[in-house]
Structure 1
Amino acid sequence: MDRTTKITQFIEERCLVEFGTDVTPQDDLFKTGVLDSFGYVQLMAFLEQEFALDIDHEDMLTNVLVSLESIDGYVAAKLGQ
C-alpha cells in the first residue's frame, strides 16, 4: 500500500468520510468539519508512527496541514521523496 493510500484510509476510517464522495483531496479538512484539533493530533501521531517521522511541536503548529494533498506532500518531503 502506498503512502497516499495509507493516509487516506486513516482519515476515512477515523473521521468517517470518503474522499471523492464527501470531500476532495484539496478540501480544507478543518473547514469541512472532517478534522478538529484532537483529530489533527491523532493524525500527526499516526504519521510519526506509520512513516517513522519526527514531527516537532513547532512544525506541527506553524505548518498546519489542512488538506489531504498538503498532508501527503508534507510526508513526502519529510521522507525525501
Structure 2
Amino acid sequence: MTTTDSIRKYLEDRFLFEFDDSITPDTDLFKAGVIDSFGYVRMMKFLESEFSVKITSEDILTNVFVSLNAIDGFVQKKISAS
C-alpha cells in the first residue's frame, strides 16, 4: 500500500466520507467541512505513527496540510529527509 493509499484510507475511515468528484485529492478538507482542528491533530499523530516521521511544531505552524495531495507530499518529504 502506498503512502497515498494509507492516508486516503485513514481519512475516509476516520472522517466518514469518500473521495469522489466533489471531494478530490486536491480539495481543501477544512473548507469542505470534512476535518476540523481536533481531527487535524489526530491525523498528525496518525502520520507520525504510521510512517515513523517526526512532525515538529514548526512543521505545523509553517504548513497547513489541507488536501490529500498536500498531506502525502509532506509525508514523502519527511520520509526522504530521514
Q: What is the TM-score normalised by the length of structure 1?
A: 0.93
Say which structure, 1 or 2, has more relative contact order (CA 8 Å, 6+ apart).
Answer: 2
Matched residue SS, 1:40: helix
Identity percentage over the alignment?
Answer: 53
Q: Distance in 1 between matches of 2:77 and 2:30?
A: 22
5+ residue gaps, structure 2, are none
Unpaired stretches in structure 1, ≥5 consecutive residues: none
- What is the RMSD computed on CA atoms of the aligned residues? 1.3
2:11 aligned with 1:11, yes or no? yes
Cα distance change on mapping 1:70 and 1:11 into 2, 3 Å: same
Partner of residue 43, structure 1: 43
Matches within 5 A, 1:2-81: 2-80=2-80
Partner letter of residue 55 of structure 2? I
Q: Structure 1 runs of 4+ off > 6 angstroms?
A: none
Q: CA deviation at 1:6?
A: 0.4
C-alpha deviations, 1:41-64, integer Å up to 9, x for none? 000000000000000112112211
Shift of 1:80: 0.9
CA separation in 1, counterparts of 2:77 and 2:17? 26
Amino acid across the alignment from 1:4: T
Residue 22 of structure 1 deviates from its aligned partner by 4.8
